Amino acid sequence: MALWLHSLLEVAVRYWRFSRVMVMAALLGMAFSSLGGVAQADFTATISDSASNPYAWVYVPRAIEVTTGDTVTWVNTGVAPHSVTGANFDSGNLDPGQRFQWTFNQAGTYAIYCSLHPWMVESVVVSDNAASAPSE
């Protein structure tokens, strides 16, 4: 068999295996989230990077607005380990694909940074849930 054809078939088989794994992961995620034991995120942010330019690595979005009691989930969609670190919490190292959740119970502005790459910063502004409740 020609080398190029063999390489093409090898890539196709790897893609097929990867697709099956991703579908299974999605189905398992839906099954576990419906059990009620897993905290649901009120807001999801991503940790984005590229192998070519570390100074372009960012949290997306760079500013988050939530209310007290909301849970934020950060997902490392990059290729390098990162962290989500604030004044009173630290995710530890998150490998690519890992996630970290934090529930914000007090109003205020929280400065978030990556302990491995301190130029990566984000802010989370938490407003008081009672202040945003409709009045009767």
Domains of the chain, by residue range, sit at 1-38, 43-127
What is the C-alpha to C-alpha distance for residues 72 and 74, in angstroms, rounded to an integer?
7
**Dist CA 75 CA 45 (whole Å):** 6
Paired strand residues for 72? 43, 102
Query: 44: which strand partners?
Result: 73
pLDDT per residue of the chain (136 residues) written in tens, 0 to 9: 555 555 545 655 554 454 443 434 443 344 333 333 344 569 999 999 987 889 899 999 999 999 999 999 999 999 999 999 999 999 999 999 999 999 999 999 999 999 999 999 999 999 998 765 555 5
Task: Write out the H or E segment, with its range, that includes residue 12.
Answer: helix 3-33
* pTM of the predicted protein model: 0.67
CB 104 within 8 A of CB 40: no
Nearest to 116 by CA among 60, 54, 72, 63: 54
Q: Which CATH superfamily is domain 43-127 in?
A: Cupredoxins -  blue copper proteins (2.60.40.420)
